[in-house]
């Protein structure tokens, strides 16, 4: 994941991103008014942010429970050797797997799975067994879900109390 696609994001782009995080349906004219740019300059800035991959899309946030998905599970998976590649191909065919990440530690993958029922979840997890060893945790409640990002530039980090940029190696 690149933290800065094509160099640092300037303050005007940060303002645009802040406003779009609040309301991605703003017109370019209204967005420009809020950030102090003309409509055409705003349009150009937003297109550039899209082209650089900083803005990856515009989506509606649907509550999965409204669609009948009453079970959310995080499943850790261990796959050995060739089974790993086979499992990666398999999971692309399972719509219930909403997210999947390659992770460090004793597991290879962590997946977010949505199901309509425990029975449906059981059916999905049984199919995993031919590829490896799944371990699941059912979500009881959403306690914290961040959907926006801190858009402030990263602060220099310190190593043993000394700013990194002052440390000389070699």
In a domain, 48, yes or no: yes
**Structural domain total, the chain:** 2
In a domain, 148, yes or no: no
Beta partners for residue 71, in sequence order: 115
In a domain, 155, yes or no: no
Q: Could you tell me the two tokens for 16? A: 């645009």
In a domain, 108, yes or no: yes
Tens-digit pLDDT string for the chain (170 aa): 444 445 568 999 999 999 999 999 999 999 999 999 999 999 999 999 999 999 999 988 899 999 999 999 999 999 988 999 999 999 999 999 999 999 999 999 999 999 999 999 999 999 999 999 999 999 999 888 888 888 887 777 776 666 655 555 54
pTM of the predicted protein model: 0.76
Contacting residues for 127 by C-beta, under 8 A, at least 6 apart: 90, 94
Asked whether residue 47 falls in the same domain as residue 75, the answer is no
State the residue range of the domain holding 20.
1-61
In a domain, 44, yes or no: yes
In a domain, 86, yes or no: yes
């Amino acid at each position: 994941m690149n933290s800065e696609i094509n160099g640092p994001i300037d303050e005007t782009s940060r303002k645009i991103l802040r406003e779009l995080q609040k309301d991605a349906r703003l017109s370019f004219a209204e967005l420009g008014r809020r950030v102090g740019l003309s409509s055409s300059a705003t349009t150009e800035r937003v297109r550039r942010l899209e082209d650089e991959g900083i803005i990856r899309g515009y989506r509606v946030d649907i509550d999965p429970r409204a669609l009948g998905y009453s079970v959310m599970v995080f499943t850790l998976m261990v796959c050995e050797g060739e089974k790993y590649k086979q499992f990666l191909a398999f999971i692309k065919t399972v719509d219930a797997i909403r997210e999947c990440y390659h992770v460090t530690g004793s597991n290879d993958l962590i997946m977010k799975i949505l199901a309509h029922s425990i029975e449906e979840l059981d059916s999905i997890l049984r199919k995993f067994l031919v590829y490896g060893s799944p371990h699941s945790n059912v979500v009881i409640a959403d306690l914290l879900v961040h959907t926006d990002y801190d858009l402030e530039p990263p602060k220099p980090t310190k190593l043993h109390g000394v700013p990194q940029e002052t440390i000389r190696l070699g």
